[in-house]
Amino acid sequence: MPRLMAIILIFAIALIVAALTAWGSLALWFRLSLPDAGRAIGAGVFLVFGLFTVAALASRLRVRAILSFAGVFALVLFWWSSIKPEANAAWARDVARQVTGSIDGNSLTLTDVRDFGWRSNSDFTERWTTRTYDVSKVKTVDLFMSYWAGPKIAHVIFSFGFEDGEQLAWSIEVRHKVGGAFSPLADLFKNDPLVILAADERDVVGVRSNVRGEDVQVYRLRASPEQARNLLLEYVAEANALARTPQFYNSITTNCTTTVAKLMRVAGDKVPFDWRLIVNGYLPDYAYDRGAIDTSMPLAQLREISKIDERARADGLSPDFSKAIRVGVPSPAAAATP
């Protein structure tokens, strides 16, 4: 039995060392500030060192190998912790500015609200505006799901509705540089910062439905006006904090869905961990199971009604875009009550 336990322990340590080796090698490859050849050498050396450590676990050198690996990995962690996101860079124009807000009583003033006029993914009129809102008139909050890579992965946008029918959308995105592109793997390794955008729906939703051809769905959430206002104010606080202290986007731990879940918890809605918060294409299923969206019909039927693509294209990004894309979309009782 002691021999069996020793074998199990060595096997467990081998798995841990292998996992840390894989992570460290990828981190060095993606983030070492060297030309490609230098990054490849750094990642390769660490990979070989880790594999040697795993092999040494079956020999009398196991203790020395473990201690050596721990020391080297500690150096990698120290280097990793020194990598901070850039505050200023040649950002792509659509994520060039971080929204900020100030509150005076019920008056919320937002600086750098995006209001782009999109003609194609690369041809657009750039507009950044300063706007003032009365937070006492926030009544609803809706969830947009924009599917860009099949049914499992989507981009999440929350939009707040006011008494006069105006909508203010919030999108948490990757702040990539000019010429850069979204990479789920690279963004696990401090590749790009996070940015929070406040924007018109014609802009941040319309570019996805009408320009990029994504499958966009809208769900009216069962939220009281107070819950909607609290969540809006938490978005503002989070945006201000991000403007002061940039942080990295992470495809698993800090992305458009996990950050929203944190904000919802702070706003007073308990959001227990669920795998659908990571594989976020299934977020409507999660919301349906929790009664957060309309449950008067099967989810499959609600999902079809919630697809905005045909209505969005027929509207053509007109001033009535927000109203047009919601035609026929049911509202849960709590969300529909003024």
Residue 175, pLDDT above cutoff 90: yes
For the residues 6-12, what does the mean pLDDT come to? 87
Predicted pLDDT of residue 263: 65
Residue 30, pLDDT above cutoff 80: yes
Rounded to the nearest integer, the mean pLDDT of the chain is 91
pLDDT tier, 338 (very low <50, low <70, confident <90, very high otherwise): very low
What is the C-alpha separation between 312 and 324, in angstroms, rounded? Answer: 7
For the residues 99-115, what does the mean pLDDT come to? 97
pLDDT tier, 254 (very low <50, low <70, confident <90, very high otherwise): confident
Predicted pLDDT of residue 238: 94
Tell me which of 210 and 279 has the higher pLDDT: 210
What is the C-alpha separation between 143 and 99, in angstroms, rounded? Answer: 20
**Is 226:337 a contact under the CB 8 Å cutoff?**
no
What is the C-alpha separation between 180 and 327, in angstroms, rounded? Answer: 37
pLDDT tens per residue, range 40-79: 999 999 999 999 999 999 888 889 999 999 999 999 999 9
For the residues 266-288, what does the mean pLDDT come to? 81
Predicted pLDDT of residue 267: 62
For the residues 88-109, what does the mean pLDDT come to? 96
The number of beta carbons lying within 10 Å of the beta carbon of residue 51 is 14
Predicted pLDDT of residue 333: 67
**Which candidate, 338, 323, 261, places its Cα nearest to that of 292?**
261
pLDDT tens per residue, range 146-161: 998 888 889 999 999 9
Cα torsion 51, 54, 59, 62 to 10°: value is 110
Residue 336, pLDDT above cutoff 70: no
What is the C-alpha separation between 192 and 158, in angstroms, rounded? Answer: 22
β pairing state of 215-220 and 194-199: unpaired
For the residues 212-225, what does the mean pLDDT come to? 94
